Amino acid sequence: MAKKDIKQIVQELLIQADIQINGKRSWDIKVINQDLYSRILAGGVLAIGEAYVDGWWECAALDQLVDKVFKEKLDTKIKISKGLLWDTLKARIVNQQRKSKAYVIGERHYDTGNALFQLMLDKRMNYSCGYWKNTKTLNEAQEAKLDLICKKLRLKPGMTVLDIGCGWGGFAKYAAEMYHVKVVGITVSKEQLKLARELCKGFDIEIRLQDYRGLKEKFDNIMSVGMFEHVGCKNYKHFFKVVDQCLKDDGLFLLHTIGSNQSVRFVSPWINKYIFPNGMLPSATQITKSYEGIFKLEDWHNFGTYYDKTLMVWYKNFNQNWDKIKIYYDERFRRMWNYYLLTCAGAFRAHRNQLWQIVFSKLASQIDYESIR
């Protein structure tokens, strides 16, 4: 196909979402390299992200661009590359999140470097959606999220709580400090383990380098924030069984996860390759099928609109602190990280993704539960 014909196809596609090539509005695309069109034709969605990182095209407001693309469902009209077809087939056949692969995400993403996350996140280093109700700053929104979780779990002094995917210990320290509970946190990231132990010194907190499938003890309550996206649909049922085995009979389990509007077996090929290897966003259907016969649903809370705001503050913090961050990373990394943050913000703004907090109790539990917001 001639380059001129490919460009015409791309232009006609973008016009459907009110996006112009080399236009003057913040969401319009500026093409730097004219080979962009043939690259997109050959590589599809993955090539779009890679071309941006390579500097082949620019956009003043990527979040606005992605919001428009998703609202018009233009991503469904972009050619699927052979690589993505193979990834889809592989996801159906192979368990890409099996136990032997448990530490891959820790090494590839969360071990990127603590300095990056310390400069981008809030003071408690929460790498998940804030709860912006009645708050103004990221620190306030993240503490509001932590307090919401503690209240939903009905924490009381002396309880022992398990945090699956504890990150840098933000929840563990808050719960121990404010609700006087003991917390056991597990992570698959060596960098997180090291800093979390340092940050949680002086509190009744134990941080372990451990995969959830190795858990054996019983806990009063269990929670997991931003970790279920790494479990994989082939392991959802087993994940709930492990939690059930570790939860005391009168305990509660809170799951905080990004959710997809549709059941899929893969994320964006660009996100999978460069940000979250083997990640997968669960759908409501996949979650309900997986906990059926194991848990009883007590509450399902959606506040996905808050993730857009959280991501935009992370983007602001990242770029305001770039002079400190660039000691460790190059300009190519900056473009990659901005693409990640802004495209995710646009996806939440377009309601392509959701953010769920789900509370469960055991099937035989007689708890009278009324949730809060």
d(CA 139, CA 40): 40
d(CA 160, CA 141): 25
Beta bridge partners of 256: 225, 357
| Structural contact between residues 295 and 362, judged by C-beta atoms closer than 8 angstroms | yes
Q: Which residues, other chains included, contact 311 with Cβ-Cβ below 8 Å and sequence gap of 6+?
A: 63, 341, 342, 344, 345, 348
CA-CA distance, 243 to 254, in Å (whole number)? 10
Instruction: Count CA within 13 A, CB hemisphere, residue 334.
Output: 17
Cross-strand bridge partners of residue 253: 222, 360
- Given the residues 59, 129, 233, 344, the one annotated as active site: 344
What CA–CA distance (Å, rounded) separates 61 from 343?
10
From start to end of the chain, where are the E strands? 29-31, 57-59, 160-164, 182-187, 205-209, 219-225, 247-260, 295-302, 353-362
CB-based contact 306:355 (threshold 8 Å) = yes
- Does the active-site annotation cover 150? no
Q: Which residue has the tokens 């095209």?
A: 57
Q: Provide the CA 261 distance to its chain's centre, in angstroms.
A: 15
d(CA 75, CA 326): 32
Going by their DSSP bridges, the two strands 247-260 and 353-362 should be labelled as antiparallel
**Structural contact between residues 266 and 91, judged by C-beta atoms closer than 8 angstroms:** yes
Are the C-beta atoms of residues 121 and 325 closer than 8 Å to each other? no
For residue 359 the two structure tokens come to 């509370």
Query: Which residues are identified as catalytic?
Result: 344
